[in-house]
Amino acid sequence: MTPDTLGTHPVLPTKAFWPNRFAGQVFLVTGAAGGLGSATARRLAREGAHVMCTDIRSGGTADGSDPDDCLALDVTEREHWDRAVDHTITTHGRIDGGAWAAGPRVRGSSRRG
């Protein structure tokens, strides 16, 4: 599907961007420091969502997000999930949705940290 055919699709919307589509909603996004997670977090925020950015690299994201909305999260650790969910609910009152975009970690990879 290309942008010029988007408006002709019988199911997809005619607009690729909806301002305020997610206004007032809270999303938890993993892998937000780069790649698909970062793009998803930016898109959700652009469409009005409050986004809790998480990543295995401390700080969650480096694109100027509010530090209170950025957490270190190793998706393989239960305690990290508990902390992220608790912090999100404490900060925003609820979680309306999520995007699990953290990439796999390969043993021996220097990417961690």
What's the predicted TM-score (pTM) here?
A: 0.74
Q: What is the pLDDT of the chain when averaged over all its residues? A: 80
Within 6-87, strands assigned E span 26-30, 50-55, 70-72
- Report percent pLDDT > 90 for the chain: 51
pLDDT for 97 beyond 90: yes
pLDDT for 65 beyond 80: no
Place 24 in a pLDDT band, splitting at 50, 70 and 90.
Answer: very high
SS3 93: coil
C-beta atoms surrounding 8 within 10 Å: 9
**pLDDT, tens digit, for every residue of 37-54?**
999 999 999 999 999 999
pLDDT for 6 beyond 50: no
Give Rg (Cα) of the chain. Answer: 16
